A and B are shown apart, each in its own frame.
Chain A
Amino acid sequence: MSETKVKKMLFILSKATLENVYAAFIMANGARMEGIEAEIFFTFFGLEAIQKKKLEKLHVATVGNPAMHMPTMLGALPGMEAFATNMMKKEMEKLNMPPVGEFLEILKDSGVSLWACKLAVEMFHLKETDLIDDLDGILTIGDFYGRANEEGTHLLFI
């Protein structure tokens, strides 16, 4: 087994687009698979990924995303986001990538801690019952930094 000096990965997920949510989830899960601790702090729009009513309805960004290789005007057309999202979900299913809800269960079972940002929860007027049951809690950013207080910890903003 290859040795790594990385002991703990702390992810801050601030966006709700599928590509960003999956990036955070895959990296957190991948860390656990290597024996590295992992935690995710959901803030701002990232909170959508842990809202019961919203987490299965996340979209790919078709506007302001140069990698889509489509003119911004086209990306803004009705139905375009849904089309791109469906395409991406199909490709992900081929690679055996779980949907968001199942992925959260996998992360939890794998020992990834899931935190919601207190300020963002208040800003969006969310109640604890709006958030997934698997959540470990609601933290201030200070509390979250406190969790980085050991050698070999890395923070990543997504």
Chain B
Amino acid sequence: MKKMLAEKTVEVNEEGYLLQFAQWDKDIANAIAVEEKVELIDRHWKAIEWIQNEYKNDSPLSIRGIKNSGTLNIKEFYELFPGGPLKKASKIAGIPKPKSCI
């Protein structure tokens, strides 16, 4: 379905995840973050960048991956994206909902 975010029309699924990463930009990230009640600061952008790199390298996201990222730690990750951090961070980063159970 189509959705207006930051005055642009993007394709999202029924849960609001972008369908095409190419449509993502920082304004759109900010718009999704507002919906998710997250105010993006520097640390968020570092996390988003790391997550997007993982996605580009085809490595599935997991909480264990966050622990071993060297960029983030789990505690901070939960503080940055309270209430479902992997999902929220993925949505804001414009990548698909993570399928990992761990």
Contact = CB atoms under 8 A, between A and B. Distances in A.
Interface string A64-86: 00000000000000000000000
Interface in A90-145: 95-98, 102, 105-106, 109-111
A109 B101 contact: no
Interface residues on B, range: 20 to 34
A1 B89 CA distance: 12
A33 B85 contact: yes
Contacts, number: 53
Interface of B: 15, 36, 60, 62-65, 67, 73-75, 78, 82-88, 100-102
Contacts of A30: 101-102
22 contacts: A1-B83, A1-B84, A1-B88, A26-B101, A29-B102, A30-B101, A32-B63, A33-B85, A33-B86, A34-B84, A34-B87, A95-B102, A96-B62, A96-B64, A97-B102, A98-B102, A106-B67, A106-B74, A109-B67, A110-B74, A110-B75, A111-B78
